[in-house]
Structure 1
């Protein structure tokens, strides 16, 4: 990314505001680019939302408590902090398209590491595989998020990211269903009570048999990733040109990206957001398991369906009826209300899901689980809105700003662990109170923080 020098990149219009996008559609070049990126967002979603089903699975296979099981999520998301700046340096040298290709290769290598991990059932190797997989995803995210922001008009950036979110969260709907059919079939044989009744050697053998179910899916995943890597490498996707709309005065040079409060505060809001998104998506299966919900393995799909609905609202409403800032504010308010619902609603009654889902034939879930799934609706527009608001006006610092925002994804590593610790101490439902201050931070950024253009004063809305 742009630090001391600019990468040599083929020009693509930074913000085309004429032509089809200014009217009723989008230019053909933008649509073609979005199709390529949609494929990549689907892959990122597939790898990301597999964690929601993987956490309770590995809890059984490796005999873990809640805190230990959520290290799966931590190892995955901490890679975004560790690898974001190295990813920026790599992209500065090889460009965005080659960075996407390299990221896919790293993801494939991480998927292959699951094979020896499953065969050995060594938990540290599972965590190493997660870290490697997420390192490739970090490189991908650092490249494709500013790419999609700059692929068209900035005012409609959240709409384009919402479309990408449909691919990403659509994968999140599919993944738990696939995982459940392949790896959670007859899972009742491996319940805590069933395993406790076995002799130690038989118990270990049963866990080994269960672990082997991971081998085939991850080998297939690696093959698909390597195939798409080759496809993207030889595709016609072009690199984006660097932005030049900021004045590089001495003060900005000294402060770098930290001179931009809309970015720094956006990174804090993104830290909080990723934490609550991961808690809602990755712990719902674990929470359902604690409540003896029969279909706990597919509960992540409930959250993802709600997120898909939220993204569809964003595609339709932004910027026609909702500004990016207003969409973020509404999301934060809904998140605050639903958090209270998760932490206080019934753990046995199903009135809420009966009212919302009774007509569909979908299995009903307890009210507190339903509120947790509905957080997907509140979370959907946060990521698409924060990115364009935080990167606005950074000019040649856009690439480094993107790396800072990617580093904020470590919220998904830290906050679920806090939840896991609280759930072990005070109970799974009480642990969800950790989300309340997180949505409070998002609310503050949506109401005031994104308007700031220098520390100590505000500017007009971006």
Structure 2
């Protein structure tokens, strides 16, 4: 997208923002929809809307218009919002809350394995030969450049048509599947049988969970979406760097598998969250302190720190919310917008750091590499917030004790 639409580093990260910002706009409507139609139909509707978004890539690529691409991604994000708002609480409350992280980890294995395969497939289809194309674009006329960029844009049509067909098929399969009906365990009851809590604002652990998920998703998206550009800035070719995202995702999958076997039999989900946050801080410091392939591997290793955060936050946040579970789920989904906020901030930090170093006489290549490395400090406060939630935030069930 950066090459096709001739974007700056910061602008290129709005590709991710267009998807993640949809969680803010669609989460509460998604909660309303799911309250009306239920979890199963909600998941089916989400998949269908994602398919529509995939089809919008066709006119976007034909016109090679940046806002049209962003609109297509935003529509897909709306579908993902409905899907996530239905699927995450459904899986969390499908069994004992103590093993919720285990079930979420199983989902994560499927999710990230598909993500790794997707990056490999789309990398092969869309990034093959991109280094040569970028070099060629610098030496040809504007008319020739437009023709080449049009051909690159058209290359996304077939993959997204296939994606749309698969999503429509799965929407139908989920709609017809005999999935069990479940609801969350109610919150504590008073002596007369009435709930003691009347509003989601009476659950501080919910709001700390929302803030924690917000910074976590931002950290995860930076780790996954910046690693290719970061590798290229360090001198790796596009052909080499296209595999780096897969390293991150496979690190997550390996840790998910550990979570399935360890939680809750050997370790509690809150213990896994504490370990993940601590590891995230350590790895972030290692990224900043190293360079070259070693630094790239530390970025990829963030997959291990990130894997069990999402599975642990959901059950720890939704525990005891009862009838407020669907609304709380919508708030957690809105927190995914952290993925829209933090990556562009990282991109702007890289741009600003690079320009500052160039003004000091550093070569453009060295400046890009140095700025990309140092800007990863933004991850440290994110992991510290996760650590706070793991240690204290999830325990705060009331604002004050009576």
Give the structure-1-normalised TM-score.
Answer: 0.80
Q: Secondary structure at the match of 2:397?
A: strand
In the alignment, which residue of structure 1 is the partner of 2:105? 162
1:213-248 deviations in whole A, cap 9, x for unaligned?
Answer: 100000000011111111111221233235433448
Residues 243 and 398 in structure 1, CA contact (< 8 A), matched pair in contact too:
no
Distance in structure 2 (CA, Å) of the matches to 1:243 and 1:281: 35
Match of 1:116 among 37, 53, 59: 59
Distance in structure 1 (CA, Å) of the matches to 2:401 and 2:242: 48
Matched, 1:308 2:256: no
Superposition pairs for residues 337-376 of structure 1, below 5 Å?
337-347=282-292, 366-376=293-303
Residues 108 and 222 in structure 1, CA contact (< 8 A), matched pair in contact too:
yes
In the alignment, which residue of structure 2 is the partner of 1:411? 338
Using the TM superposition, name which of 231-240 and 264-273 deviates more: 231-240
Superposition pairs for residues 280-359 of structure 1, below 5 Å?
280-294=223-237, 295-347=240-292
Distance in structure 1 (CA, Å) of the matches to 2:70 and 2:375: 24
Residues 158 and 324 in structure 1, CA contact (< 8 A), matched pair in contact too:
yes
Residues 259 and 454 in structure 1, CA contact (< 8 A), matched pair in contact too:
yes
Match of 2:373 among 419, 429, 441: 429
Residues 172 and 300 in structure 1, CA contact (< 8 A), matched pair in contact too:
no
In the alignment, which residue of structure 1 is the partner of 2:120? 177
Distance in structure 2 (CA, Å) of the matches to 1:456 and 1:450: 14
In the alignment, which residue of structure 2 is the partner of 1:7? none
Q: Secondary structure at the match of 2:245?
A: helix
Distance in structure 2 (CA, Å) of the matches to 1:152 and 1:208: 50
Deviation at 1:304, TM superposition (A): 0.3
In structure 2, the CA distance between the partners of 1:89 and 1:435, relative to structure 1 (3 Å rule), is: same
Residues 422 and 430 in structure 1, CA contact (< 8 A), matched pair in contact too:
no
In the alignment, which residue of structure 2 is the partner of 1:451? 395
Mind listing any 5+ residue stretches in structure 1 that lack a counterpart? Answer: 1-57, 348-365
Distance in structure 2 (CA, Å) of the matches to 1:382 and 1:169: 14
Match of 1:401 among 328, 331, 350: 328
Deviation at 1:446, TM superposition (A): 0.6
Matched, 1:384 2:311: yes
Superposition pairs for residues 79-158 of structure 1, below 5 Å?
79-158=22-101
1:130-164 deviations in whole A, cap 9, x for unaligned?
Answer: 11001001000000111111111111111111111
1:73-129 deviations in whole A, cap 9, x for unaligned?
Answer: 111101111100000000111111111111111000000011111111100011101
Residues 46 and 81 in structure 2, CA contact (< 8 A), matched pair in contact too:
yes
Aligned positions, number = 380
Distance in structure 2 (CA, Å) of the matches to 1:206 and 1:298: 24
Residues 185 and 320 in structure 2, CA contact (< 8 A), matched pair in contact too:
no
In the alignment, which residue of structure 2 is the partner of 1:225? 167
Distance in structure 2 (CA, Å) of the matches to 1:94 and 1:213: 38
Give the structure-2-normalised TM-score.
Answer: 0.92
Matched, 1:235 2:177: yes
Distance in structure 2 (CA, Å) of the matches to 1:263 and 1:244: 15
Deviation at 1:344, TM superposition (A): 2.0
Deviation at 1:206, TM superposition (A): 1.0
Question: Where has structure 1 moved over 4 Å in runs of 4 or more?
Answer: 248-251
Match of 2:218 among 261, 275, 278: 275
Mind listing any 5+ residue stretches in structure 2 that lack a counterpart? Answer: 354-370
Distance in structure 2 (CA, Å) of the matches to 1:377 and 1:252: 37
1:394-422 deviations in whole A, cap 9, x for unaligned?
Answer: 11111111111111100000011111110
Distance in structure 2 (CA, Å) of the matches to 1:147 and 1:243: 12
Deviation at 1:296, TM superposition (A): 1.4
Deviation at 1:456, TM superposition (A): 4.7
